[in-house]
Amino acid sequence: MSELISLTIAEAREKLVAGDITSVELTDAYLAAIDAANETFNAYITVTGDKAREMAKASDRRRAKGEVGVLEGIPLGIKDLFATRGVHTQACSHILDNFKPEYESTVTQNLWDDGAVMLGKLNMDEFAMGSSNETSYYGPVKNPWREAGSNSALVPGGSSGGSAASVAAHLCAGATATDTGGSIRQPAAFTGTVGIKPTYGRCSRWGIAAFASSLDQAGPIARDVRDVAIMLQSMASVDEKDTTSVDRPVPEYEACIGKSVKGMKIGVPKEYRIDGMPDDIEAVWQQGIEWYRDAGAEIVDISLPHTKYALPTYYIVAPAEASSNLARYDGVRYGLRKTGNDITDMYEQTRAKGFGDEVRRRILIGTYVLSSGYYDAYYLRAQKVRTLIKRDFENVFADGVDAILTPATPSSAFAIGDEEMASDPVKMYLNDIFTVTVNMAGLPGISVPAGLDSKGLPLGLQLIGKPFAEEELFQASHIIEQAAGKFTPEKWW
Amino acid sequence: MTLIDTRTPDPKRFIAGTTDDWEIIIGLEVHAQVTSKSKLFSGASTEFGAEPNANVSLVDAAMPGMLPVINEECVAQAVRTGLGLNAQINLRSVFDRKNYFYPDLPQGYQISQFKDPIVGEGIVTVSVGPDKQGNFEDIEIGVERLHLEQDAGKSMHDQHPTMSFVDLNRTGVALMEIVSKPDLRSADEAKAYITKLRTILRYLGTCDGNMDEGSMRADVNVSVRKPGGDFGTRCEIKNVNSIRFIGQAIESEARRQIAILEDGGTIDQETRLFDPAKGETRSMRSKEDAHDYRYFPDPDLLPLEFSQAYVDQLKSDLPELPDAKRSRFIGEGLSAYDASILVSEKAIADFFEQVAEGRDSKTAANWVINNLLGKLNETSQEIEDTPVSPDQVGGIIDLIKEGTISGKIAKDLFDIIWEEGGDPAEIVESRGMKQVTDTGAIEAAVDEVIAANPDKAEQAKEKPNLAGWFVGQVMKASGGKANPQAVQELVKQKLGIE
């Protein structure tokens, strides 16, 4: 059984095609693994065993008839932010209590149309607001990685903590995730998995509970570059229900894996070398540069001068949009309702009880920066800075740079309940320092594991590409994967 | 926005307070529901009168993860309206979110246009009058802007002892908010403006203008000042839903403000409501309580962009609008008064044009205005309800022209057709309504009347005016069927007056 769950998507696909295994067997193996380990990790908040077996059976029947989609029979976990018809969809928030949508998000529908099997819904930070999966109404997720010689629980990162942990612990073959400021790439880096945030508009946002509409993008987390490429191929599509989705053919992403990077120009931005950056991070970044040089790529020093403004700007734009996007959770039509003396009291009671601290904090910040008298100083100025950040990237790409190499995170995974982070939200926000610029500019970014730090924890490198240059990111990140090898936590559960 | 006074203070529009004359300054924000099959950002139907919550999509109900998709027909309707208002069409406009909490606003924000509306400045020419001398005055009222926005749903507080109900059928229906400049100076002008606006929208087919169904309603901004002085502090009267109430609200609000100012008080800027039962306005909320709507561009929607060619195409397909039609009618020989009445509703103008086809315009206009509209007015019906068709009216006119029936008989014929329908010529034939032109028969009748009234016949020789009395008697005797001209001639001949 455990052999089955250690297969990558590509490997499982091969065995399914050869008839060595069935989707039902593969699905049962994952369900058994979830059953055995989920209590430890708290990665799944709902396991849809019956549905999974049904979908697996249907997949095997299709395969018998010769109908084989790109993810035929592959069991996946779905972040709770995605609407799944008739299945728990709460963005891991109390305020959406008992919400089961009558609709299916475009991204998950694409996956099912390509033959994938749903194992269940994955834990996440409430409404995708957090970098440690500790803001979930369903409690924190444990990272399958632990420091060498320690039994202390670490965070898997966030907000897609359940996605990253379940992939790393082999509780699914791959998972959907979303990324507004780093929510795919940071947890991927913390768990030794691969995650890509595609170009804004590459995946439809329809049916994904909105956090910050101009920044949100869906993407996959999986065990290696090839698996992520296979998943994104299915997830990506133009969608008439999301007018910000882009009408561009989806390339065969997998085909570019293994292509040489000879002559490719890799930019290394000086602004990402921040004060107090751990030596291990510095070292793994340097190592990445060497690997590219060895592979025949040209390394160029570049400057992205507005980088230092990215994080504060992000923490104006994202909460502003969130404060408006989350207004619909008002206790009137669905989800939690706390009765009050009148309508205003009902709103206040419901929203005070329904939202956690971090979500409330961001709603307050967002409401503040949009309010009369502050709008120009905060929101409007932030939009201007956002344009400058975007221009930084455009200038670099115009100078011939093909991809930009940076660390994915400023640290490796930290402890659940880390006091420093808990006492100062800004410390937590700093987790996104290398990733938010990519969302601000709408670019694709991939996080790929590149080594272990001195504590034995995985570290990721990030590659940032031109708009819709996901292929080049797969091509380039495969170089790191080849050189660094893959990282699997030692099983202790 | 900077307020610019485009009107010259005119004493005829002043209203007298206790101590001074005052001038009323009025601006209207008209909310007009866009005529479209589906809502502004969802595919749900806009049909009026459906069961509560029957026309609600996932987007309208603001389910998690739902996204708005612009309805292109609503955009076209807004552009058509802008063109009809002689306004600047903005090739790029932006949708913003107006944030506030209310149960009939599921998203927690209304998608509207704040900084960059789809339509900019325009002009509406309004004919005010007639005054006591029967004259009309044409005034030009500036349009500040027109923008697209979502309507809210309906809260019902009378369905349950402790709970309120919400009907989301209207939620997300497209509205055009048409904001006038503060160019109106009297209740009559405001009423004439909104009437004209409604006429234009109906001609364009962009709003049905049914105020009863809430398809059109207005927020009325009113302030008063000493003639020619600085603009005063304004109050906004929300959601007035009939033209008559708009007039009443303005009158009473102006009186209220004048009374306060003449008492040495000051006007507080506030939002007020008009109570039709009491005929007065009352405070709804003060400026201090005003919402902070936290407008910002809706990140779910890209800026709305289209080409000049798209606008040109819509422009070339526009129907003839009332002002142009009125000029054309006047050119065809109608009086300004008749032309104004005929173009006041497109259906009336269309009716008239069908009647006038191949006939004398003036006669056709008289028949439509005096007979048709008169009868509709008498029976409190609209042109759409008329039981008499243009062909039937035309048929009646033809029968008069041919000399088959007299004008008086024609009116009876019209009444018969109104009640019973039928072909005018056939009715005249079958009911023996034909005019008697047989000179012999008329002559006999004239002789009979003269013989019966020898005194009067004698007097008529001195007073030729008495001939009219004889004509009347003969007509009466013939049941109105005698040809009046023939009777007149014979009476004069027989009485010996020329």
CATH of the domain at B473: 1.10.10.410
B288 touches chain A (CB under 8 A): no
Segment A59-71, tens digit of pLDDT: 999 999 999 999 9
Residues B339, B460 share a domain: no
Decide if A371 is catalytic.
no
- Tell me what the mean pLDDT of segment A391-408 comes to: 98
**Chain-chain contact of A243 with B106 (C-beta, under 8 angstroms):** no
Q: Is the dihedral of CA B56, B61, B65, B66 positive or negative?
A: positive
**Chain-chain contact of B63 with A103 (C-beta, under 8 angstroms):** yes
Measured distance CA(A121)–CA(A101) in Å, rounded = 13
**Chain B residues close to A241, C-beta within 8 Å:** 67, 69
Report pLDDT for B496: 81
Facing residue for B101 by CB, picked from A91, A103, A330: A330
Report pLDDT for B190: 97
Residues B275, B153 share a domain: yes
A108 touches chain B (CB under 8 A): no
Chain A interface test: which of B63, B107, B110, B171 (most A C-beta within 10 Å)? B63
Biggest distance spanned by C-alpha atoms of chain B: 99
Residues B381, B410 share a domain: yes
CA–chain centroid gap for B273, Å, is 24
Q: Which of B406, B430, B454 is the last residue of a domain?
A: B430
- Whether A232 is in a domain gets the answer yes
- Tell me what the mean pLDDT of segment A238-262 comes to: 97
Q: What residues make up the domain containing B346?
A: 319-430
Chain A interface test: which of B296, B298, B305 (most A C-beta within 10 Å)? B296
A99 touches chain B (CB under 8 A): yes
Structure tokens at A65: 């008839």
- Whether A410 is in a domain gets the answer no
CA–chain centroid gap for A304, Å, is 24
Measured distance CA(B428)–CA(B414) in Å, rounded = 11
Facing residue for A89 by CB, picked from B64, B69, B302: B64
Distance from CA of B311 to the nearest CA of A (A): 22
Residues B110, B201 share a domain: yes
Structure tokens at A249: 């053919």
Residues B417, B281 share a domain: no
Q: Which of B260, B288, B310 is the last residue of a domain?
A: B310
Report the candidate in A255, A306, A286 with the shortest Cα–Cα distance to residue A472.
A255
**Chain-chain contact of A209 with B64 (C-beta, under 8 angstroms):** yes
Respond yes or no on whether ipTM tops 0.90: yes
**Chain-chain contact of B63 with A330 (C-beta, under 8 angstroms):** no
A324 touches chain B (CB under 8 A): yes
Report A:229-268 residues touching B (Cβ under 8 A): 240-244
**Chain-chain contact of A99 with B166 (C-beta, under 8 angstroms):** no
Helix/strand/coil for B23: strand
Decide if A79 is catalytic.
yes
Residues B295, B197 share a domain: yes
**Chain-chain contact of A243 with B296 (C-beta, under 8 angstroms):** no
Facing residue for A242 by CB, picked from B61, B67, B292: B67
- Tell me what the mean pLDDT of segment A439-445 comes to: 98
Helix/strand/coil for B239: strand
**Per-residue DSSP letter, A435:** T
Report the candidate in A354, A321, A311, A414 with the shortest Cα–Cα distance to residue A91.
A354
Measured distance CA(A396)–CA(A436) in Å, rounded = 17
B156 touches chain A (CB under 8 A): no
Instruction: Give the total residue count for chain A.
Output: 493
Q: Are A290 and A451 in contact (CB under 8 A)?
A: no
Measured distance CA(B441)–CA(B438) in Å, rounded = 6
Number of domains making up chain A: 1
Distance from CA of A190 to the nearest CA of B (A): 28
Taking chain B, what is the end-to-end CA distance rounded to the nearest angstrom?
Answer: 74
Measured distance CA(A86)–CA(A98) in Å, rounded = 10
Segment A301-334, tens digit of pLDDT: 999 999 999 999 999 999 999 999 999 999 999 9
Report the candidate in B316, B60, B300, B277 with the shortest Cα–Cα distance to residue B166.
B60
Q: Is the pLDDT of residue A1 over 50?
A: no
Secondary structure (DSSP) of B108-128: SEEEE-SSS-SB--EEEEEEE
Residues B443, B305 share a domain: no
Q: Could you give phi then psi for residue A119, rounded to 5 degrees?
A: -85, -30
Tell me the pLDDT of chain B (498 aa) as tens digits.
Answer: 566 777 888 888 888 888 889 999 999 999 999 999 999 999 999 998 899 999 999 999 999 999 999 999 999 999 999 999 999 999 999 999 999 999 999 999 999 999 999 999 999 999 887 777 877 788 999 999 999 999 999 999 999 998 899 999 999 999 999 999 999 999 999 999 999 999 999 999 999 999 988 999 999 999 999 998 899 999 999 999 999 999 999 999 999 999 999 999 999 999 999 999 999 999 988 877 778 999 999 999 999 999 999 999 999 999 999 999 999 999 999 998 899 999 999 999 999 999 999 999 999 999 999 999 999 999 999 898 999 999 999 999 999 998 888 888 899 999 999 999 999 999 988 887 887 767 788 888 888 888 888 888 888 888 888 888 888 888 888 877 788 778 888 888 888 876
A370 touches chain B (CB under 8 A): yes
Distance from CA of B324 to the nearest CA of A (A): 40
Please, is A54 exposed, middle or buried when counting C-beta atoms within 10 Å of its C-beta (0-12, 13-18, 19+)? middle
**Chain-chain contact of A241 with B107 (C-beta, under 8 angstroms):** no
Residues B443, B426 share a domain: no
Report pLDDT for A275: 87
Measured distance CA(B51)–CA(B67) in Å, rounded = 25
CA-based radius of gyration for chain A: 21
**Chain B residues close to A105, C-beta within 8 Å:** 65
Report the candidate in A405, A377, A388 with the shortest Cα–Cα distance to residue A441.
A388
Segment B402-445, tens digit of pLDDT: 888 888 889 999 999 999 999 999 998 888 788 776 778 888 88
Report pLDDT for B285: 84
Task: Tell me which of A132, A136, A166, A183 is the catalytic residue.
Answer: A183
Answer with the residue of higher pLDDT: A420 or B143: B143
Q: Which of B430, B456, B478 is the last residue of a domain?
A: B430
Distance from CA of A406 to the nearest CA of B (A): 28
- Whether A336 is in a domain gets the answer no
Report pLDDT for A392: 98
Residues B302, B344 share a domain: no
- Whether B130 is in a domain gets the answer yes
**Chain A residues close to B109, C-beta within 8 Å:** 324, 327
Residues B332, B453 share a domain: no
Distance from CA of B167 to the nearest CA of A (A): 12
Q: How confident is the model at residue A350 (pLDDT cuts 50, 70, 90)?
A: very high
**Per-residue DSSP letter, A432:** G
- Whether B2 is in a domain gets the answer no
Residues B243, B127 share a domain: yes
- Whether B228 is in a domain gets the answer yes
Answer with the residue of higher pLDDT: B110 or A419: B110
Chain A interface test: which of B293, B300, B302, B304 (most A C-beta within 10 Å)? B300
Distance from CA of A328 to the nearest CA of B (A): 5
**Chain A residues close to B63, C-beta within 8 Å:** 83, 101, 103, 334
Task: Tell me which of A132, A159, A204, A323 is the catalytic residue.
Answer: A159
Q: Are A476 and A448 in contact (CB under 8 A)?
A: no
Residues B167, B68 share a domain: yes
Q: Which H or E element spans position A30? A: helix A23-41
CA–chain centroid gap for A164, Å, is 8
**Per-residue DSSP letter, B133:** T
**Chain-chain contact of A207 with B65 (C-beta, under 8 angstroms):** yes
Decide if A131 is catalytic.
no
**Chain-chain contact of B300 with A207 (C-beta, under 8 angstroms):** no
- Whether A275 is in a domain gets the answer no
- Whether A335 is in a domain gets the answer no
Report pLDDT for B463: 84
Report pLDDT for B217: 96
CA-based radius of gyration for chain B: 30
Measured distance CA(A98)–CA(A354) in Å, rounded = 12
**Chain-chain contact of A205 with B299 (C-beta, under 8 angstroms):** no
- Whether A342 is in a domain gets the answer no
- Whether A377 is in a domain gets the answer no
- Whether B4 is in a domain gets the answer no
Q: Chains A, B: CB contacts under 8 A, how many?
A: 97
Q: Which H or E element spans position B87? A: none
B69 touches chain A (CB under 8 A): yes
Q: What residues make up the domain containing A168?
A: 2-240+466-484
- Whether A105 is in a domain gets the answer yes
Please, is A25 exposed, middle or buried when counting C-beta atoms within 10 Å of its C-beta (0-12, 13-18, 19+)? middle
Task: Tell me which of A79, A121, A142, A466 is the catalytic residue.
Answer: A79
The CA angle B100-A381-B102, to the nearest 5 degrees, is: 5
Number of domains making up chain B: 3
| % pLDDT > 70, chain A | 100
Helix/strand/coil for A272: helix
The CA angle B475-B480-B483, to the nearest 5 degrees, is: 75
**Chain-chain contact of A332 with B103 (C-beta, under 8 angstroms):** yes
A367 touches chain B (CB under 8 A): yes
- Whether B6 is in a domain gets the answer no
Q: Is the dihedral of CA B404, B407, B413, B414 positive or negative?
A: positive
> For residue A92, what is the domain's CATH number?
3.90.1300.10
Asked if omega into B130 is within 30° of 0 (cis), the reply is yes
